[in-house]
Structure 1
Amino acid sequence: MRIAVIDLGTNTFHLLIAETSGQDFKVLYKTNVPVKLGEGRINDNIIIPAAFERGISCLKNFKETIVGFQVERVKATATSAVRSAGNGKKFVAAVKELTEIEIEILSGEEEAALIYEGVKLSGAIEDLSLIMDIGGGSVEFILCDTEKLIWKKSYNIGAARLMQRFFKSDPISDQDKNEILVHIQEALTDLFDVCELHQPKTLIGSAGAFETFAELVSAEKNKMIDVATVKSYPFNFDEYIALSIKLINSTHQQRVEMPGIIPLRVDLIVIAALITNFVLGRLKINQLRLSTYDLKMGILANQIQRY
């Protein structure tokens, strides 16, 4: 059976098409489009008209691709930007009317559970770990080991939200950084409490910004990894820390010129580095790993199990 998975993220819309046979699958097609659905007013909980239209246009193109691949089942899900927007349901209705694609709006808890399923599929979970998925609208944390999910929660501290609210300088000023870190500290109190109890050994970054970190670290060693083909990548911790400090201290133009940063992520990567470093430091974790499998792979795994 051919299954199409559509993930409507706050910054990026993803389409994955896979051929399934029993529990096995082969990815036939994969793309992502920087729709920036949360542009401008994500903290006002609204999808602005230009972003609304970009989203519709992208999904019309996705529909043409899905038809071309003769897909039998389509599963489309939306996360933080649509979930929190006052006109999110209007967007979902417009998509249904114009493309016949039905979108399920995931709760933060559902999103976290599916991220766990995707990361588990990658083989990245080798010990007691904390998974972190940095989206544009929300950040999901999942505490787990090789056998089970222990705890999960979604927080509205996504990179686009923090950037629109706090990132006002170039390079980012100490004041902007401190305001972001105070906000994160206040938001993540219960995460730190549960991790104090369980003491996770490894932080696993789910795709997105962590793929950029991996590409930048490997590029500096002239050993560029292909995130399209690897499932998991263990960071050298010191190399990651050196890179993250370089990113945080850099100007917008310096980041533009770094090979490995896609245009969408040039400024968002600074926020991602700040969040990651704060969590690593606060929890005293010194092992970091990338899982290139994320929410959409979790959705695919879920669909395979159902059908």
Structure 2
Amino acid sequence: MRLAVIDLGTNTFHLLIAEGIDKILYKTTVPVLLGQGRINQHIIIPEAMERGIRTLSQFKATIDSYQADVVKAVATSAVRSAENGQEFVDKAAETGIHIEVISGEAEAGYIFKGVMATGLIQQTTLVMDIGGGSTEFIICNPQGELWKKSYNIGAARLMQAYFHADPLGEDEHRSILNLLDNTLTDLKVACAAHTPSLLVGSAGAFESFAALLNDGNEISGVPSASLDIDQYKTLSKHLITSTHQERAGMKGLISLRVDMIVIAAIITDYVLEHMDINRLSLSAYDLKWGILADQLLGKHG
């Protein structure tokens, strides 16, 4: 069976065409920026909607050329929180792409399945996926999920709300930390109960962290990689205090993440410190791989 998976994220749209986890026929990522401008006002602006529909039309042509048997397209935070999200779904249907808008809990479940497929989950682990609109946390072990939750603290959402100085101001930094204090209370309780010993970051910003720690070279061809925690902390301090221009010149940091990486570093630092975790790994498999694994297992949901 040939599967096509579309992950409609807040920042990027992803297309994966595969016949198995280890048999990827086509993969692409397009920076659509669906949450541009007014994500915190729950609106997809016209320019972003147009970019999204144009990208889906291109995806449909590619899917047709590969003659995929099954197409699974899911939309996450930007669409589910937008007042005009249904309008986007309806326009997408006109291209031949039928979108399922999934809940934050379902999103976390797919992320878990993607990370599980890497073989990384060997002990009690906290999985984190920092998206543009939301961030998902899953506490799990080799037997399965223990706890999961999605929070509306994505990098694009926080950047639009708090990141207005270059470099990030101390007051802005403190405001983000205060928000995390007020938002992640139940995550702290869950981590205290389950005591995860490893933090796994799912793709996205963590791929950028890994590349920056690897002399600017993308880590490719492997489903997971261990990140040196001390080197990460040094990098994080540098990212948070750097200017836009300085980050734009960093080898291994794609333009989409030049500013959002600062928010991702703040969230990651907070989790490592407050959840008392001192080991960090990257999972190259994320939500789209979880959907792929789910479809291959014949569990549609």
Query: Do 2:207 and 2:218's aligned partners in 1 also have CA atoms closer than 8 Å?
Result: no
Describe the SS at the equivalent of 2:117: helix
> 72, 86, 91: which is aligned to 1:89?
86
Matched, 1:187 2:183: yes
> 172, 178, 181: which is aligned to 2:174?
178
Name the CA distance, whole Å, in 1 between partners of 2:293 and 2:271: 29
Name the CA distance, whole Å, in 1 between partners of 2:275 and 2:117: 25
Name the CA distance, whole Å, in 1 between partners of 2:198 and 2:22: 28
Alignment of 1:114-263 (within 5 A): 114-219=110-215, 224-227=217-220, 229-263=221-255
CA drift at 1:19: 1.7
Could you list the per-position Cα deviations for residues 145-191 of structure 1 after superposition, in whole angstroms to 9, with x for gaps in the alignment? Answer: 11211000000000000000000110101100000010011010000
CA drift at 1:134: 0.1
Query: Do 1:40 and 1:48's aligned partners in 2 also have CA atoms closer than 8 Å?
Result: yes
Name the CA distance, whole Å, in 2 between partners of 1:199 and 1:73: 39
Describe the SS at the equivalent of 2:297: helix
The aligned residue for residue 294 of structure 1 is 286
Describe the SS at the equivalent of 1:122: coil
The aligned residue for residue 76 of structure 1 is 73
Question: Which sections of structure 2, spanning at least 5 residues, go unmatched?
Answer: none
Describe the SS at the equivalent of 2:238: helix
Query: Do 1:124 and 1:290's aligned partners in 2 also have CA atoms closer than 8 Å?
Result: no
CA drift at 1:304: 0.7
Question: Aligned AA for 2:17?
Answer: I
TM-score, length of structure 2 as denominator length? 0.98
CA drift at 1:63: 0.6
Question: Aligned AA for 2:35?
Answer: G
Question: Aligned AA for 2:134?
Answer: S
Question: Which sections of structure 1, spanning at least 5 residues, go unmatched?
Answer: none
Name the CA distance, whole Å, in 2 between partners of 1:245 and 1:25: 36
Runs of 4+ residues deviating >3 angstroms: none
The aligned residue for residue 96 of structure 2 is 100
Name the CA distance, whole Å, in 1 between partners of 2:251 and 2:119: 28
CA drift at 1:225: 4.6
TM-score, length of structure 1 as denominator length? 0.96
The aligned residue for residue 11 of structure 1 is 11
CA drift at 1:226: 2.7
Name the CA distance, whole Å, in 2 between partners of 1:178 and 1:70: 51
Name the CA distance, whole Å, in 2 between partners of 1:225 and 1:57: 28
The aligned residue for residue 258 of structure 2 is 266
> 259, 272, 276: which is aligned to 2:268?
276
The aligned residue for residue 296 of structure 2 is 304
Name the CA distance, whole Å, in 2 between partners of 1:77 and 1:25: 22
Name the CA distance, whole Å, in 1 between partners of 2:236 and 2:222: 22
